[in-house]
Amino acid sequence: MPVTRPAASVDLDGVELRVLHIPLVSPFTTSFGTETVREVIVVRALADGVEGWGEIVTQQAPLYSSEYTQGAWDVATRFLIPALLAERTIAPERVASVLEPFVGHRMAKAGLELAVLDAALRGEGRSFGSYAGAVADRVPSGVSVGIQRDPAALVETVRGYLDDGYVRIKIKIKPGRDIDDTAAVREAFGSIPLQVDANSAYTLADTDTLAQLDRFDLLLIEQPLQEDDLVDHATLAGSLSTSVCLDESITSRKVAADALALGSAAIVNIKAGRVGGYLEAIAIHDLCRDADVPVWCGGMLETGIGRAANAALAALPGFTLPGDVSAADRFYARDIVTEPAVLDDGHVRVPTGPGLGVDIDPDALDAFTVEKAVIRP
């Protein structure tokens, strides 16, 4: 269901970027490494006396993807923002085409597009959920659980999230921390909705190991192989009874279409930052819905800005599996919005206010800021 009523154009007067360092409530470990502080770029679009907010979801180092914070800062300040400011008046739906000549840097582009979109919708008094086609006022909330000290510690961590009310558990795995961890969680909690995320940690040589996961009746195994291994993912999928879901591989609607045609994925994880923006994310949703392929909304440890946008995205009709739109306190003791997302009966509310429907806490924003720049025409 494409966007049926485009947003109004805005006169873009400038763009502010801030690098934030926000402490996590606990270390978050994946096959890529361990994070204790979330480094993220927050975008503020200055347009017609209205502010719009976006989030560039890069990490400090290029481990999850080729993008990283200082690289995103450089390309945004030197190329992307000047290109947008040169337009002066721009509709959010044109941001992607204006930035298309600059190869890659999808996370940076996504954050800028979201800020312009938020400004335009705030000016109209229209919510992002309404604009995108949301059909629900709340979305089921899953939680992503990092690799713990040992299987026993993992079980206790999962127990805490189930007690909180999360309706789906995702555990991170890597070679040597896969079968025993998954077995421990399944044995402890029975038939809870459970999936695993490999973050590209395996190769086809590990097929026999990954096949052992079939006995745990998982919802899916997420991104077992490398980002560019679409053919190998199709080969692997033929050897598993567990559904293969792609995450890192899905960088655009075109790649998603290729993956479906090859049989590389039975399920797709859509992350707006990874695919270049929420409008491209909506297009991938539409593609998968037409193909009867389930999708869910992944997370990148977003602040309240990206979390609000993700909640609205996850409320589209094709998002039939619980995503990673968790409560803010899953990761942060203090968020940068005045009303952080909370868990209510296993769900997170879809904001209904203008734009993203959240307001920035200026004191928190300043407290976490380590670098700041304003770019004007």
Q: Residue ranges of the domains in the chain?
A: 10-124+360-375, 130-349
pLDDT at 363: 98
Determine which one of 109, 170, 174, 271 is catalytic.
Answer: 271
Catalytic residue (choose from 170, 172, 254, 372): 172
Q: Give the architecture (CATH level 2) of 130-349.
A: Alpha-Beta Barrel (3.20)
Q: Per-residue pLDDT for the chain (377 aa), expressed as one digit of tens each?
A: 678 899 999 999 999 999 999 999 999 999 888 999 999 999 999 998 899 999 999 999 999 999 999 999 999 999 999 999 999 999 999 999 999 999 999 999 999 999 999 999 999 999 999 999 999 999 999 999 999 999 999 999 999 999 999 999 999 999 999 999 999 999 999 999 999 999 999 999 999 999 999 999 999 999 999 999 999 999 999 999 999 999 999 999 999 999 999 999 999 999 999 999 999 999 999 999 999 999 999 999 999 999 999 999 999 999 999 999 999 999 999 999 999 999 999 999 999 999 999 999 999 999 999 999 999 99
The residues facing 249 across adjacent strands are: none
Whether residue 271 lies in the annotated active site = yes
Q: Which CATH superfamily is domain 10-124+360-375 in?
A: Enolase-like, N-terminal domain (3.30.390.10)
Domains 10-124+360-375 and 130-349 share a fold: no
The pLDDT score that the predictor gives to residue 184 is 98
Predicted local distance difference test score (pLDDT) of residue 32: 83
pLDDT of residue 1: 67
pTM comes to 0.96
- In the residue annotation, 172 being an active-site residue is answered as yes
So what's the pLDDT on residue 48?
Answer: 83
